């Protein structure tokens, strides 16, 4: 058995010169993924619907040392997913890494939720993950050099929630199913398929939970009774798992959900 990696163990985590597609790049998780990979030397194709904010993310990636291309599309159709992949091929010659960080939630008790809202969440989180994985897997298979597909799960794919999360929990459980099935399906090709499952981490949507007012303190205290590490997450808590899943370090790791949650799902 070769142990060449011992000569330079850090090389296992290198993504230098690789090409990554990141959907939902203007969101909290997508921005972390794009900037982490760019700072590590990857070429990054950032995708989202908001063109102005997307250009800002691309500029930040370039400032960190990576080459960046902005594609103002969501993975909301087969045509869009194919166009995103072809943009990466045209600009950088191929696709090595896919991070699907796009998605949404519409919180509502089941007795009040409109069926179309449930279906919107399922489409954004499940169907679009499937479509984007399909487009990337086709290109990676054609290239014949393996690849990394990273989907976005959640602690809510494993655990329920009392506050109107039936659509979200169902969608993330489905993402887990895609991750496991696709990990099996693509295993022999050298393409790994895994999902990152965070819980609460600092973002524009969760910033209120980090505040010092009484409401935030009460909600935070209740939540932290379930978190063994005793704190809420930060964006840099996700950087390491993303780099692991995107690099050679995870070559024998597929079909798994990696929970970056401070131990929340262990309790």
Catalytic residues, by residue number, are 168
d(CA 100, CA 140): 15
List the one residue out of 75, 177, 78 whose CA is nearest residue 128: 75
The torsion angle over the Cα atoms of residues 139, 141, 146 and 148, rounded to 10 degrees, is: 50
- Token pair listed for 39: 């700072």
DSSP-assigned states of every residue in 116-167: HHHHHHHIIIIIHHHHHHHHHHHHHHHHTS-EEEEEE--GGGTS--TTT-HH
d(CA 66, CA 17): 9
Residue 179 is classified by DSSP as H
67-96 burial, b at 16+ Cβ within 10 Å, e below that, comes to bbbbbebbbbeeebbbebbebbbeebebbb
126, 172 contact by CB (below 8 A):
no
CA 17 centroid distance within chain: 20
């Amino acid at each position: 058995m070769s142990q060449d990696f011992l000569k330079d163990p850090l090389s296992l985590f290198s993504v230098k010169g690789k090409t990554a597609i990141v959907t939902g790049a203007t969101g909290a998780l997508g921005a972390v993924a794009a900037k982490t990979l760019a700072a590590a030397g990857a070429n990054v194709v950032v995708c989202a619907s908001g063109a102005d904010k997307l250009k800002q993310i691309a500029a930040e990636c370039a400032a960190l040392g990576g080459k960046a291309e902005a594609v103002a599309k969501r993975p909301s159709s087969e045509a869009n997913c194919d166009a995103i992949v072809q943009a990466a091929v045209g600009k950088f010659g191929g696709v090595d890494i896919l991070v699907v960080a796009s998605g949404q939630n519409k919180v509502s008790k089941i007795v009040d939720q409109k069926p179309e809202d449930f279906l919107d969440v399922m489409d954004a989180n499940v169907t679009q993950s499937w479509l984007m994985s399909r487009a990337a897997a086709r290109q990676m298979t054609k290239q014949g050099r393996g690849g990394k597909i990273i989907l976005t799960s959640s602690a809510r794919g494993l655990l329920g929630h009392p506050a109107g999360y039936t659509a979200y929990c169902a969608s993330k459980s489905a993402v887990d199913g895609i991750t496991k099935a696709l990990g099996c399906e693509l295993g022999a090709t050298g393409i790994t398929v895994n999902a990152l499952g965070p819980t609460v981490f600092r973002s524009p949507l969760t910033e209120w939970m980090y505040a010092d007012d009484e409401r935030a303190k009460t909600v935070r205290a209740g939540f932290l009774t379930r978190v063994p590490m005793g704190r809420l997450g930060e964006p840099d808590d996700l950087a390491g798992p993303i780099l692991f899943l995107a690099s050679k370090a995870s070559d024998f790791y597929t079909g798994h959900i990696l929970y970056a949650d401070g131990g929340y799902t262990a309790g």
